[in-house]
Amino acid sequence: MTFFQDIPVPPHPPRGRAVRYVPPPWAGAPLYELPVVLHIGQFLHRSPTMVMAVKSADVYSTGCSFDVSWTLRREEQSDEEWVELNDVFFRPGPGPRRGSGADSVLLFGAQFPDGSKASTGFHGMQGFFEGTEQPDPPVLLLRGSGGNGAEDELAGSGQIWLWPLPPEGELRLVAQWKDFGLEECSIMLDGGQLRDATAGVQQYW
């Protein structure tokens, strides 16, 4: 007999079933819906050195997610300047070599036909991290999905979640990234088309 055989081992407490986190409607797409995918195919910005485009929209019953991409081409920057641009590109925001305001942030915005606005950036995640209290609509959240860099080009992409679905009329999507010389630019989308697409949304269960 060994020393530890006489020591009783307490039984494990019953293991409860894990509860899946369900994001509130303003924080993201419903978990169990197959969205309707609408082709957008519009440039928010296009120049010899930078392109930003809205490819498509995934429309859900509660909101929509826009697929956005951006690409920067190298000009005459030195290797040191290019390394600095890499840092700004993949870690946008205030830093020791940058400013501390909106000039140093990749910003997206949305404006409904009635003039109400939402933006990403410093306050774009409000309501997502702060408790469960529903924020005032509309809400716009940027979810970065990665990117890649090379000696002559930088590329990134992300999804912009908009809640709720816009009403009939023109929906204005806006972008700005002054670190790369991208002043405020925008495109107009048909809010009614986005809303009508919800007729084709399919539930999983």
Residue 123: its pLDDT value, please? 45
For 119, the token pair is: 């933006």
pLDDT greater than 90 at residue 172? yes
Residue 129 has pLDDT above 70, yes or no: no
**In this predicted model, what pLDDT tens digit does every residue of 81-124 receive, in sequence order?**
888 888 888 876 555 544 545 566 889 999 999 999 999 975 44
In the chain, % of residues over pLDDT 70: 87
Q: What pLDDT does 137 receive?
A: 92
Interatomic CA distance for residues 166 and 189, integer angstroms: 10
11 or 96: which leads in pLDDT: 11
The one-letter amino acid at 4: F
Tell me how crowded residue 136 is: count the other CB atoms within 10 A of its CB: 10
Listed by start position, the domains of the chain span 61-93+105-205
- In 74-121, DSSP assigns E strands to 107-111, 117-119
